[in-house]
Structure 1
Amino acid sequence: MCFHTSISHPTRKIEQQLKVKLSDDKFRPLFDTPNYHLNGFSHPNMLLVPQEKSEILAPGVWGIVPNYKSKEDIKSYYKEAVKYGGGLNARSEKLFEHFIYKNSIFNQRCIIPVSGFFEPHDQNKKKYPFYFKNGNDNLLCLAGVYTKIDTYITFTILTKKASPLFERVHNLKNRQPVIINDTELNNWLSNDLNENDIMSIINTDYPESDLETYSVSKDLFSPKVDSNHIDIITKVVYPELEMQP
């Protein structure tokens, strides 16, 4: 599952690559500050491109909340939902039946641009974090759905069965986030998609040859360490680690 992300690209770069405009320039200083490690369980603010206004880049809270909740309910809902993964990820296989996702999948899809994300590898009951990024250092665009609660957008990242590369890394859960191919970005936000169209995009694997992945510091998993710094995306070699991408 995808619970840890990284976004170090400045907003201008995101706007340029996705051909969008930040919804309000007052957000620019906040989102121009690099976040090398965002832990989803802290429910950080991240930028996304919403289907309903696909020309803008808007702030959203990571962790989807049902649209019948009020803004006053959001914090208490996250405390309740932590046992279900905090609303951070949505299994794509359940999009059309889940009580939250089915109300968003046709009209409230989104793109979440990230510089990279982290997945765990398990060996001998120990976890080793791996970082995934685009090999050319462009953004990776993750697929999501969202809800609107008053002035807030809350979102979740879609996941699916792991491709061979992700299966080798995320070897217990065998899941991966849905990464949208560049050629499908506009299509993902189209209002004309039916269920088959949506699943076709989801099931199109991002080319593994375009991805770079490597092991990083175990500080990523430590609640006692501030891992939001540039060193957390630096390669760390573990001599005992058998898995190589």
Structure 2
Amino acid sequence: MCYSTRTTKKIGELEDYYEVERLLGETIDSETELIHNHANGWAHPNMWILPQQRKGFVIPSKWGIMPATSLGAEFKDYFAKNRGAFGGLNLRCEDIFKNYMYEDNIYTKRCVIPVDGFFEPHTTAVKVKGKPFKVPFYFKRADDKPMSLAGIYNVTNDKMVTFSIFTNKATPLFEDIHNQPSNKHGDFRRPVVLQEGDVEYWLEDGLDKEEIVDIMDNGLEDAYFDTWPISKDLHKRNGEGDRPDIIDKVEYEEIEIRY
């Protein structure tokens, strides 16, 4: 799954890389930089997305998709009452065409979420005080380019844009590292990272189901990622994980896999 990302590139860098312009909302001014050393999805941070309906622009959006009938200003109450939505942070590729709230959005409201990288948990064979010893790993592109996550967005009744990140079945690298199923289906997942040449294609109008599925099933291959273990401070409740050096490599003798 993908509940934690890192976004440290300034908006000007994203505008240059994707050849887009920022389009600001009422709560975001021209000086705002949406920088997160650790963007914790459960806190529903504002992040930049490239939306299908406003091609050529990058806009601020809240992580955690909500129905069009809901009020974005009441997102805390919404997710507290709808715990089965898991914060709206991820949506399974396999389910989106039968999701009554978003089955139309997949044709008209796809988006690209630019990030530096993301974090995934690894469960070692070691137990501490009877509990599995877990270690966070950081993933980034080996070439240090922005990572383009595939997503979907919606606009709430009070005009707040909210989004979710697509996940697909895990490839071998992700199954080795994120090695514990974390959903009711009992399968291993990974976020959909778009191939370089599919970013603009993903935002095109008129794609049919087969074309959309093909893009999601042919994401960036494992060979294009670098990954390593980092500090367990990432998930401390006091926000200590939101610091620049949180992605520094940490060696753990409990880790037995190669990465």
For 2:59 and 2:238, how far apart are their aligned partners in 1?
31
For 1:156 and 1:200, how far apart are their aligned partners in 2?
19
Give 1:219 deviation, angstroms. Answer: 0.8
Give 1:35 deviation, angstroms. Answer: 1.3
The residue matched to 2:17 in structure 1 has which SS? Answer: helix
Q: Match for 2:173: what amino acid?
A: L
The residue matched to 1:13 in structure 2 has which SS? Answer: helix
Report the CA distance shift for 1:81/1:232 in structure 2 as closer, same or farther (over 3 A): farther
Give 1:29 deviation, angstroms. Answer: 3.2
The residue matched to 2:60 in structure 1 has which SS? Answer: strand
TM-score, with normalisation over the residues of structure 2?
A: 0.90
Q: Match for 1:187: what amino acid?
A: Y
Match of 1:24 in 2: 24
Match of 1:141 in 2: 148
For 1:166 and 1:192, how far apart are their aligned partners in 2?
32
Question: Is the 8 Å Cα contact of residues 81 and 87 (structure 1) preserved in structure 2?
Answer: no
Q: Unpaired runs of 5+ in structure 1? A: none
Give 1:160 deviation, angstroms. Answer: 0.5
Give 1:93 deviation, angstroms. Answer: 0.4
For 1:211 and 1:139, how far apart are their aligned partners in 2?
12
The residue matched to 1:105 in structure 2 has which SS? Answer: helix
Match of 2:248 in 1: 234
Segments ≥4 residues shifted beyond 6 Å? none
Q: Does 2:229 align with 1:222?
A: no
Q: 2:174 aligns with which of 166, 173, 176?
A: 166
Report the CA distance shift for 1:123/1:186 in structure 2 as closer, same or farther (over 3 A): same
Question: Is the 8 Å Cα contact of residues 230 and 249 (structure 2) preserved in structure 1?
Answer: yes
Match of 2:223 in 1: 209
For 1:91 and 1:58, how far apart are their aligned partners in 2?
24
Give 1:10 deviation, angstroms. Answer: 1.1
Match of 2:129 in 1: none
Q: Match for 2:226: what amino acid?
A: E
For 2:199 and 2:253, how far apart are their aligned partners in 1?
39
The residue matched to 1:200 in structure 2 has which SS? Answer: helix
Q: Deviations over 1:149-192 (max 9, x none)?
A: 13210000000100111111111122100001110011100111
Map 1:87-166 to 2 at 5 A. 87-124=88-125, 125-149=132-156, 150-166=158-174
Give 1:47 deviation, angstroms. Answer: 0.4
Q: Does 2:205 align with 1:191?
A: yes
TM-score, with normalisation over the residues of structure 1?
A: 0.95
Map 1:81-92 to 2 at 5 A. 81-92=82-93
Question: Is the 8 Å Cα contact of residues 124 and 254 (structure 2) preserved in structure 1?
Answer: no
Map 1:45-84 to 2 at 5 A. 45-84=46-85
Give 1:220 deviation, angstroms. Answer: 1.1
For 1:28 and 1:63, how far apart are their aligned partners in 2?
24
The residue matched to 2:151 in structure 1 has which SS? Answer: strand
Percent of pairs identical after alignment? 35
Give 1:67 deviation, angstroms. Answer: 0.9
Match of 2:184 in 1: none
Match of 2:15 in 1: 15
Question: Is the 8 Å Cα contact of residues 146 and 156 (structure 1) preserved in structure 2?
Answer: yes
The residue matched to 1:85 in structure 2 has which SS? Answer: helix
The residue matched to 1:190 in structure 2 has which SS? Answer: coil
Question: Is the 8 Å Cα contact of residues 141 and 180 (structure 1) preserved in structure 2?
Answer: yes
For 1:122 and 1:224, how far apart are their aligned partners in 2?
23
Give 1:225 deviation, angstroms. Answer: 4.6
The residue matched to 1:96 in structure 2 has which SS? Answer: helix
For 1:72 and 1:209, how far apart are their aligned partners in 2?
41
